[in-house]
Structure 1
């Protein structure tokens, strides 16, 4: 995201984020579903996205996944990344959001959400920073606060994480730690 201009409005919205929530299919993946003949399935995840999520967690922002589908692959990925809150098989994402905010004592304005399709839209519109990936449904992109330059599963989550960290002045320190 460093080569792209970020609007002052998106930075303002990202400044007070305490919880970042991700959809899975179409956001942390490219949206394709791979079903195996034995009934299992697999998903491909982007390592840049994964490291972005790890950096965001290290900066002090809590993370969650809310997915309408349920699969052990997502549970494993969440554990590998250190994502603290995982909700799978939950179609009404707004109900999950309210449960999570009650548990954590946070307000809608302290939440960022990254989604791609219509079931994500109620949350995108309710939270302080609701974003869509570049490959999201056009109606969802139209109603989000912002749209990533990257497509789902191709660096969109990293871009989203870096936006939050940039707004909170933690990105440069995270990056320069590798110099």
Structure 2
């Protein structure tokens, strides 16, 4: 039984092999606009209890994807990366290398790519359940109201959690049962190393409300993608508690309002492509009266001015030092940095993204800023990313 002393840091590990027989390249397949690897990394980064996320892989493309979204990469040896290797062997190998960065690591969060609906709040909750129960490990579970059967000695069906020979029970009257969600396993390092298995002592159960799907087949993948695109998926978003304090939406222009490309005619006049969906979202957000909206662009460009005028938005251009400009703008509007949602896509947005109450970026933002974003919106710049943000803000109760 674990001691009640304050726990050391928790580190997350994601095992992501390159090989997959059922779905070739499975871990890089998109669900709701983000790859399975990216979804797990984003969830771990949003967990307040996790100090770092490591991805152990034998695949260069997976390694690049993991680094893009802010994970550190561990090269997984071929000997523990085939179909017969246990997850425990991969986790123990990773732990030996993680200690170089986190010598005091006392808890591990073991994540699975095949469960695409994990959230940062789920990770925090599973760790908290392990601490509250002073357990050696914890697992996310889904409540199951199924009538369970087995085959008896005579070869006929026998009820496990019900008496098939008695009066049929109502489903809600069955004894409570839980099944693993397959998403999160938390362990205390000392117990895990001693036993060598994920269930290394008393187990705390942490119920989650995920769709009960693990991705093993192409049909599973299509189903999860449909669920993720239904509007009910919170995995790649942020919790309401982080959004409610926000009172201002500040947006870079190129790569956010646009797809970061421009056409130039023979007279040097630029034109860009914008999204009507973004325009509608910003119009609805403006009409709500709940947020101040600002376009902040490094360059002065007539196309930015025209777009801002059409949307009826305040616009500041030719501002190299975005931090200084926003300091002044916030002060003049009685706002604080903690009340800002800043949306950027490139290196010159790094400062405001880190300083703001919440930094966000499109899915296709430059790799240097994706790890800085508290919210990676699974939509490309200029293709509806601002509509996705507006819809999420407007949905706040």
| TM-score category (smaller protein) | 0.7 to 0.9
**Distance between the aligned counterparts of 2:392 and 2:235, measured in 1?**
8
Instruction: Return the structure number with greater strand share.
Output: 2
Cα deviation code 1:14-64 (max 9, x no counterpart): 112211011111110000022211121111110000111111111111100
SS in structure 1 of the partner of residue 338 of structure 2 = helix
Cα deviation code 1:139-159 (max 9, x no counterpart): 211111110010000011111
Does 1:76 find its partner at 2:76?
A: no
Quick one: which of 32, 52, 72 aligns to 2:281?
52
SS in structure 2 of the partner of residue 5 of structure 1 = coil
Residue 103 of structure 1 is matched in structure 2 by: 332
**Distance between the aligned counterparts of 2:239 and 2:381, measured in 1?**
19
* Total equivalences in the alignment: 167
SS in structure 2 of the partner of residue 138 of structure 1 = coil
- In structure 1, the gaps of 5 or more residues are 170-179
Contact kept, 8 Å, 1:10 with 1:129, in 2: the verdict is: no
- In structure 2, the gaps of 5 or more residues are 1-228
Q: Which runs of 4+ in 1 moved over 3 A?
A: 6-10
Residue 24 of structure 1 is matched in structure 2 by: 253
Q: Could you tell me how far 1:109 is from its partner in structure 2?
A: 1.1
**Distance between the aligned counterparts of 1:31 and 1:8, measured in 2?**
23
Query: Residues 49 and 40 (structure 1 numbering): CA distance in 2 closer, same or farther, change over 3 Å?
Result: same
Which one has a bigger Cα radius of gyration? Answer: 2
Looking at both structures, which has the greater relative contact order when contacts are Cα pairs under 8 Å and sequence separation is at least 6? Answer: 1
**Distance between the aligned counterparts of 2:308 and 2:389, measured in 1?**
17
Instruction: Return the structure number with greater helix share.
Output: 1
